């Protein structure tokens, strides 16, 4: 018997803007999507997968490697799961899930890779979904670059992102007023972790870094050592810093979902910060 249903929101982006014009390749990170989803399925939770346009996310080639997994066998299992599992190959639109009702979902998860920086952080449908989960205090998890998608909950998320790209931090801060997650403790991919990607893959710099963007919106950002597992929990929100945080974030999300099954309103009172390795 299913223990509940988790809404997993993916990105459709495969290019990201870089300073000076042009774009670089991007996508979702394979392990950041598949490892938590497989853990949720193994724990007894059903998955409903959705993206803005209803097509399957593009996997960033930089993530399609065994180095991001425990070993070669784990990588091959994850790749096969992404390629063939019905869980990740039946994709809805975010709008369709809203129209059929959000109350059926017990939790929410968005993985990283830089792709959410392009579309999810300014997607109005995702914003509506996140506002629902916030009001209901249902477990809401984001991994790596994924936490930037939380700013979609802003009424003027598109303008907020445009202000960041333009370097208009004062305007961005004003547009961030009233953000549902203002004051929340969270983590996200750090500026120093981003640097190798900019230098070796994008060959250019992003218009803004993730910790600064979330801080401008009103978050209390806490980043740990580069490329080491780091998860922060505050109230209903669970955030993981980087690809190495895939397993710890999955464990934290499953624990939060299990607590909610026992005590449905537990997230309302879980306001203290928890940092887990």
Compute CA distances 192 → 69, 199, 202, whole Å.
22, 11, 15
Location of structure tokens 């009103």? 218
pLDDT the model gives residue 1: 87
Q: Taking 60 as the threshold, does the pLDDT of residue 267 lie above it? A: no
Element (H, E) at 251: helix 246-262
The beta-strand segments (E) located in the chain are 4-9, 15-17, 23-25, 45-51, 91-93, 107-110, 140-143, 185-186, 220-221, 231-234, 237-240, 274-276
Give the 3-state secondary structure of residue 186.
strand
Tell me the two tokens of residue 157: 């998320």
Domain enclosing residue 84, as ranges: 4-276
Q: Taking 90 as the threshold, does the pLDDT of residue 161 lie above it? A: yes
Query: What is the distance between the alpha carbons of residues 110 and 47, in angstroms, rounded to a whole number?
Result: 12
Query: What is the distance between the alpha carbons of residues 160 and 235, in angstroms, rounded to a whole number?
Result: 24
Give mean pLDDT, residues 4-9: 98
82-85-87 Cα angle (round to 5)? 95
Which of 186, 246, 244 has the alpha carbon at shortest distance from 214? 186
Q: Taking 90 as the threshold, does the pLDDT of residue 270 lie above it? A: no
223-227-230 Cα angle (round to 5)? 45
| Model pTM score | 0.94
pLDDT the model gives residue 276: 53
Residues of the chain above pLDDT 70, percent: 95
Location of structure tokens 């984001």? 142
Handedness of CA 90, 96, 99, 104 (dihedral sign): positive
Strand partners, 24: 16
What is the count of structural domains for the chain?
1
SS percent in the chain: helix, strand, coil, step 5? 45, 15, 35
Give mean pLDDT, residues 37-60: 98
Tell me the two tokens of residue 4: 């509940």
**Contact between 139 and 106 (Cβ < 8 Å):** yes
pLDDT the model gives residue 263: 80
Give mean pLDDT, residues 52-74: 97
For the segment 140-150, what is each residue's pLDDT rounded down to a tens digit? 999 999 999 99
Tell me the two tokens of residue 93: 């639109």
Give mean pLDDT, residues 42-69: 98
For residue 271, what is the domain's CATH number?
3.40.50.880
Tell me the CB-side half-sphere exposure of residue 82, using CA atoms within 13 A.
Answer: 22
For the segment 168-218, what is each residue's pLDDT rounded down to a tens digit? 999 999 999 999 999 999 999 999 999 999 999 999 999 999 999 999 999
Give mean pLDDT, residues 44-72: 97
Give the 3-state secondary structure of residue 28.
strand
Which of 57, 160, 65, 175 has the alpha carbon at shortest distance from 110? 57
Give the 3-state secondary structure of residue 92.
strand
- Give the length of the chain: 277
């Amino acid at each position: 018997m299913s223990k509940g249903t988790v809404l997993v929101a993916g990105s459709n982006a495969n290019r990201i803007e870089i300073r000076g014009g042009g774009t670089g390749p991007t996508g979702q990170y394979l392990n950041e999507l598949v490892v938590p989803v497989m853990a949720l399925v193994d724990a007894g939770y059903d998955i409903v997968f959705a993206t803005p346009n209803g097509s399957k996310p593009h996997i960033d080639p930089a993530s399609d490697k065994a180095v991001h997994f425990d070993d070669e066998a784990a990588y091959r299992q994850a790749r096969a799961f992404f390629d063939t599992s019905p869980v990740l190959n039946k994709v809805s639109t975010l709008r369709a899930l809203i129209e059929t009702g959000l109350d059926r979902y017990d939790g929410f998860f968005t993985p990283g890779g830089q792709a959410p920086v392009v579309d999810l952080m300014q997607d109005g449908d995702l914003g509506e979904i996140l506002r629902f989960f916030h009001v209901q205090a249902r477990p809401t998890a984001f991994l790596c670059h994924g936490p930037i998608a939380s700013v979609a909950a802003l009424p003027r998320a598109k303008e907020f992102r445009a202000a960041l790209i333009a370097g208009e931090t004062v305007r961005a801060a004003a547009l961030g007023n009233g953000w549902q997650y203002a004051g929340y403790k969270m983590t996200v991919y750090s500026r120093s972790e981003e640097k190798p990607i900019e230098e070796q893959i994008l060959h250019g710099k992003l218009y803004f870094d993730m910790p600064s963007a979330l801080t401008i919106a009103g978050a209390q950002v806490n980043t740990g050592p580069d490329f080491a597992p780091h998860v922060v929990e505050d109230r209903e929100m669970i955030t993981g810093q980087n690809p190495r945080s895939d397993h710890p974030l999955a464990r934290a999300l499953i624990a939060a979902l299990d607590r909610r099954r026992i005590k449905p309103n537990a997230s309302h009172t879980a306001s203290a910060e928890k940092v887990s390795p």
